[in-house]
Structure 1
Amino acid sequence: MDRLQFLSTVRVSRGKGHPVEEIDSVAEAMAFLREWPVGRRGPVYRCALNCCAAAMAAQMTAEEARRSFSGFARITGLLVEDRLTAAAHLASEETAAKTAVR
């Protein structure tokens, strides 16, 4: 498996009438973020972009970049979650919380 491949797909939609896009890697997330309107590039956008750049430079894992990109998508209302995606997100958050407690 490519080190820049996401363990789980981030599904996003740019709005009603637009298809759901499946973002499977750091490179795809970077491409998506580069297309984001300049006027809407706030701190959450910059965080996701910086995390993806760090993953490309092997300073962060692809999973950490995926979580940042997923957070960006959720906050901006782009994230498309089905039950399976929501359950995976919850499990990922629980694992991160358990790791932080140790």
Structure 2
Amino acid sequence: MASASSDEFTHPVVVLTSFGRPTAIGTAMEAHMVLVDWPRSRRGPAYEAAAAACLAALRGETATDEARACFVAWAQERGILALEAGLIAASRRSPPRRAA
């Protein structure tokens, strides 16, 4: 019996979405939704591979890790893959205040 979270990634993929906001993508469904929202004019072979892999993972036809790998490759190609979650967390902290 498959669990309800069978489309869950082993580790989330952090991508930069609108206005460079970091967003953790933790499932094949979330990755698929990011891909569906991507402008048609900016799609290509890596997009097609990622979209097909995410759908296949949702259907249970391929491993979720395969879908994640394709999604990572697409995000990296598009320049929206966040390199490290730690860097993102650091960027959200407010800058130190200067003494007056």
Provide TM-score, normalisation by structure 1: 0.75
Mapped to 1, the partners of 2:80 and 2:64 lie a distance apart of 20
1:6 to 4, 9, 23: 9
Mapped to 2, the partners of 1:11 and 1:64 lie a distance apart of 17
Do 2:7 and 2:28's aligned partners in 1 also have CA atoms closer than 8 Å?
yes
1:48 has 2:50 as partner: yes
What number of residue pairs does the alignment pair up? 83
2:76 to 46, 66, 74: 74
* Deviation, structure 1 residue 18: 2.6
Structure showing greater radius of gyration is: 2
Structure 1: gaps (5+ residues)? 85-102
Mapped to 2, the partners of 1:40 and 1:48 lie a distance apart of 14
Over the aligned positions, Cα root-mean-square deviation in angstroms equals 1.7
Residue type matched to 1:9 in 2? P
Mapped to 2, the partners of 1:42 and 1:3 lie a distance apart of 27
* Deviation, structure 1 residue 83: 7.6
- 1:18-37 correspondence to structure 2 within 5 Å: 18-37=20-39
- 1:88-99 correspondence to structure 2 within 5 Å: none
Mapped to 2, the partners of 1:3 and 1:83 lie a distance apart of 24
